[in-house]
Structures are given as structure tokens and as C-alpha cells.
Amino acid sequence: MRTAFRWICAAGCAAVVCTVPGCRADIKDAEARIKEKNVLTVAVPETDETGERREAALLEDKTIRFLAEELGVELVLLEMPSSELQTAVQERKADVAAGFVAAEEQGVENCSISYGLKGVYLVEVKAKAVDAPYGEPQSQEEKKIAVSPELSGIVKTYVYSGAMGGLEEVDSAKEAARLMLEGKAGGYVCYEQEAREMLKEGKFLAKDLGGAPREGYVFLADREGHKLLNVINRFLTDELMN
């Protein structure tokens, strides 16, 4: 069966969930619900303007299309902020969500294997680039570590455990750069895209924060979606191994 694709706005969607006592629809597994309505609804992150998710998004698209073909149903994609993906599945506005970020240590339930690991980087100033107009800077060990507001809580906790001078969450990479160049921050912890942008200035070095919790993208389903996740995991494994 040829699968049809159409985009619809998440803001205009409504989920219909039966809450009447005795209603049996709520206990059907996800596959049965999807085939009954003949539509697979997938929540996806809003378009990534930075390109950081490019490879992950391509794999998600292939996986989603494969799943719809396997089920023989139409595919509907709901584009929404990443912060709303889990809620969309929990409230059954979507059967599956793609691109949810989870750390391996978090033990998120009802999710697929991870793909497209997000690198965590420590950006530091090249030695000769430091400018401390307000007197002698603190020793490197005593300085605060600036952190990106985009970092997950589990990564911030990890950084805090090793930062003798404490953490300072900054609004932007630009602010972090200023603090480091003035000798007020010993480094800036962020994801790959920000690290790459800072390296273009020629004043910074970046290294993979190898011990940080590994975060990756996963597909989410509700508690009745184990069959869907089995199909997704099989496809992802084949793609990642090739």
C-alpha cells in the first residue's frame, strides 16, 4: 500500500482519549489503535535551523516512513518544540515521538535504542588570548565554569561535581566568551554546535568532555507501544550497523 504523507500544525491538533468507565479503547495496544484509524501520527521536533540535527533527522525520516509502510497506514507528522514531544505521546496526540533527547543514565521508559549521540564539549581560551583588565585572574581551578542553558540537568550535575569554583549558567556563547577572555570563567561547557561556532573566532580550544553522560536521540511511545518500538529498534539497528 502506498503511504501518503501530510504535515499538520501541532497547535491545531486535538487528541481524543476515551475516559468513560468501561471503555475498552484505552487498553488496545498502539498498533491496533493505529490500524483502526488508518493513521500513524508522529511528533517531530521543529525544523533545526543550525543543522545540528541534520543526520539524526534524516534517520528519523527513514524510520518513520518504514514504520508507516510496515503498518500500511497514512503518515501524519506533528511538528512541535522538543520540550513538548513527551507530553504529546502521553496525551496520545501522537502515537510515537522522534528526536527526544535522553541520557543513557536516565533510564527513560518506553523508548527505542539511541541514535545520533550529542557530544558535550569543554571550550577553553588559548593561553595568549586571556585579557584580565580587572586585576590578576583567579587560578584555573578556582574559576567558575560557564554552562550553556541548553544542557540537560544530568549533564549540568556532572559538570558541577568537578567544578571547584562552581557553575554559572550564561545566556549565550557570546557571554561565555567574554567571561573567559576576562579571566572570570575557566571554561564553557556546551553542545557541539556552539563549540564549533566559538572555534571560528580563533581564540578558543575545544575538547570532548569524555566523562559526561552520553545523550542521544530516541523514539518514544506510550506504554502500549512496545510492538512499535520493536519494529523501530530493528530498523535502527540495521541502519546504524550499515
Dihedral over alpha carbons 183, 189, 194, 197 (to 10 degrees): 40
3-state SS, residue 187: strand
Record the cell numbers describing residue 47, joined without a space. Answer: 525544523
In CATH terms, are 5-117+215-241 and 120-208 the same topology? yes
How far is residue 27's CA from residue 137's CA, in Å, rounded to a whole number?
A: 62
Dihedral over alpha carbons 127, 148, 108, 9 (to 10 degrees): -140
Share of the chain above pLDDT 70, in %: 78
> Integer distance in angstroms from the first to the last C-alpha of the chain?
27
pTM of this prediction?
0.64
What's 233's DSSP letter?
H
How far is residue 58's CA from residue 68's CA, in Å, rounded to a whole number?
A: 16
| pLDDT value of position 208 | 87
Domain ranges in the chain?
Answer: 5-117+215-241, 120-208
Residue 139, pLDDT above cutoff 80: no
How far is residue 198's CA from residue 175's CA, in Å, rounded to a whole number?
A: 11
| pLDDT value of position 197 | 87
| pLDDT value of position 175 | 94
| Chain position carrying cell 510515537 | 96
3-state SS, residue 186: strand
| pLDDT value of position 11 | 35
The alpha carbon of 21 is separated from its chain's Cα centroid by a whole number of angstroms, namely: 37
CATH number attached to the domain at 5-117+215-241: 3.40.190.10
Q: Which CATH class is domain 120-208?
A: alpha beta
24: phi then psi, degrees, rounded to nearest 5: -95, -10
Q: How confident is the model at residue 174 (pLDDT cuts 50, 70, 90)?
A: very high
Q: Is residue 148 a contact partner of residue 187, using CB atoms and an 8 Å limit?
A: no
